[in-house]
Amino acid sequence: MSFLYSLLGFVVMLGVLVFVHEWGHYIVGRLFNVKVLRFSIGFGPIIWRRQRGETEWAISALPLGGYVRFLDEREGPVPVEEQSRAFNRQPPWKRMLIVFAGPFINLLFAWLIFALVYVIGFDVVRPVVKQLNDASSQYWIVEQVSQQPVYSWGDVQVKLLEAQQANAPEVDVLAKGWPQSREALWSWSLQGFSPDVDMAVWLKTQGFELSAPPLAPVVGQVQPGTPAQAASLRAGDVILQVNETPVRAWSDLVKVVQTHPGEILTLLVQRDGQALVIPVQVGKRDVGGVQKGFLGVASDLKKGLPPAFRARVHHDPVEALVLGLERTWTFIRLTGHMVLQMATGQASLQNLSGPVSIAQFSGEALQSGWVNFLMLMGLLSLSLGLLNLLPIPLLDGGHLLFDAYELLTGRPISENAQLVGQKIGMALILLLTFIALTNDLVRLLHD
């Protein structure tokens, strides 16, 4: 079932993003009266086609991209009466706008997706820490970083990365305590922080540890195809005991399950006012070289989480458009910085993900709800747009580079130079694809 979700999520995600990207090329080409011969989702052999007007709309066998084929004298003879509509006959500035439209529409689409998510609204679990060596039950909810509100660990990491890019030596962190409600202001040093760092390890250098909120042991979701589903656990079940050991919080359940991979545990469950004894075969997976157990259940945040630890993020359309634009610009800057760091060896190439990871993330996002799926779609749309703007021949950025040369010099770049550039571009793309697929395989084996 998880495979089917991943497949469905991947097809929907990539299909939408590729269509949006190619539609950008298509619509600007049509605006300049360039003849569009084919609009294809996918590469390779065509498995479906339909002629509408002068354009053939097609779906091809390899769903890893797409293309818009314009009338072009470099690809075959063109009737004299249509030569003015050939792509190669357009002035460089028009060709550049047609090429740029694909990545640009991806960035615009991401902005609108983020704005839509803010209008729909979503629930988040607040970022929580505890002070090291503090045996009390006091939790600290991180509310602001650098005087900017944060609602999740993702928000915290973004603010830390922004501060690091600004060469700030430290950040101010405002937190609120629970159950003793009082505020605290800390300064966290950014020394040792990087995009690759393990957040839990880095926090310990600041005198804190990541902490799960005090969740009640109430099942909220059972993942299909997991040990929990095989044991007939249901949403709403309250876990009272594991092997006769009382379970007072969700973290108690997690600790026991993770330390018993592959073993059979006996759960005492309360369901609809009745106590049930349910044996469950714990699954196992490799996490950082260590075997850990898992059930495949998620907690019920609405029933099990105190209100102080959750937040509802929702904005009106105007605010959503502004916040969506801010988020888009933030991720553009962070992505650009990350690419630069990877190119200079300051960040690991393990950050690259390929189609296997995208399929896995898409399936997980689809199972967890449309808001998460849309947010992932926005992030991938941004990545697709920025990737295509890299000045690598065969990508849109490479075409922009060649056209910019012609615009500035008044003459096209030589065919030999284009051929050499395309070979270099192909080598770079194949290398990056190999690295991304290798990373995918390593993650898959670890999971």
Residues with a catalytic annotation lie at: 22
Q: From CA 145, how far away is CA 159, in angstroms rounded?
A: 6
Whether the link from the prior residue into 179 is cis, omega within 30° of 0, is yes
Collapsed DSSP state (helix, strand, coil) of residue 228: helix
Q: Do residues 233 and 222 lie in contact, with contact meaning Cβ atoms separated by under 8 Å?
A: yes
Q: Do residues 129 and 203 lie in contact, with contact meaning Cβ atoms separated by under 8 Å?
A: yes
CB atoms within 10 A of CB 298: 16
Q: Do residues 55 and 39 lie in contact, with contact meaning Cβ atoms separated by under 8 Å?
A: yes
CB atoms within 10 A of CB 245: 11
Q: Do residues 177 and 138 lie in contact, with contact meaning Cβ atoms separated by under 8 Å?
A: yes
Q: From CA 210, how far away is CA 300, in angstroms rounded?
A: 20
List, in sequence order, every residue forming a beta bridge with 179; answer none if it has no partner. none
Can you read off the two tokens belonging to residue 17?
A: 């993003």
Exposed, middle or buried by CB within 10 Å (0-12, 13-18, 19+), for 169?
Answer: exposed
* E strand residue ranges, 261-339: 264-271, 274-281, 283-287, 290-294, 297-299, 310-313
Q: Do residues 364 and 376 lie in contact, with contact meaning Cβ atoms separated by under 8 Å?
A: no
List, in sequence order, every residue forming a beta bridge with 222; answer none if it has no partner. 297
Q: From CA 447, how far away is CA 151, in angstroms rounded?
A: 28
Residue type for position 232? S
Place of tokens 């006996």: 266
Q: Do residues 64 and 42 lie in contact, with contact meaning Cβ atoms separated by under 8 Å?
A: yes
Collapsed DSSP state (helix, strand, coil) of residue 352: coil
Q: Secondary structure of the chain: what % helix, strand, coil (to 5)?
A: 50, 25, 25
List, in sequence order, every residue forming a beta bridge with 7; answer none if it has no partner. none
Q: From CA 263, how far away is CA 243, in angstroms rounded?
A: 11
Q: From CA 419, how far away is CA 410, in angstroms rounded?
A: 20
